[in-house]
Amino acid sequence: MHEWALADSVIASAIDYSKKEKLKKISQVNIVFGELQNIDKEIFMFAIDELIKTANKVISSSKFKISDEPAKFKCKVCETDFTLNQVKKSEDEAEYIHFIPEMAHTYLKCPKCKSPDFDLIAGRGVSIKSIKGVK
């Protein structure tokens, strides 16, 4: 249930931001989920809804919007950019990569030169893209 811990961190970060920016009220928090993070959005939003009930009033009526960031890789050999959808993988391999993103190097290869030596350049983690509020 890492969704609850992530929801709690997002709320705490938004409240910290509101203090730094002297916001009286947070109206919207825009969150980005990386494709490889494998977060259950329903559980995350349920956690947000429950946690803001007892959180600081500055965030109590905020809207939370989630967008997805596709995984993107860059080959270190030929410098080709590629996505998870561009490489062949079995259902099991895709699941392993979602649970342990570092396993991507075991199962994926650059679609151009077939090298397993690449960097993950997008699509990992959870981040707050923006926070809107009233001063």
Q: How confident is the model over 53-85, as pLDDT tens digits? A: 999 999 999 999 999 999 999 999 999 999 988
Residues 90 and 110 in one domain: yes
Residues 9 and 29 in one domain: yes
pLDDT at 96 over 60: yes
The number of folded domains in the chain is 2
- Whole-model pTM: value is 0.82
Residues 38-47: contacts with CB under 8 Å, at least 24 apart? 38/98, 38/99, 39/2, 39/3, 39/6, 39/126, 40/3, 41/66, 43/1, 43/3, 43/4, 44/3, 44/6, 44/7, 47/3, 47/4, 47/6, 47/7, 47/8
Residues 35 and 8 in one domain: yes
Residues 64 and 86 in one domain: no
Residues 91 and 56 in one domain: no
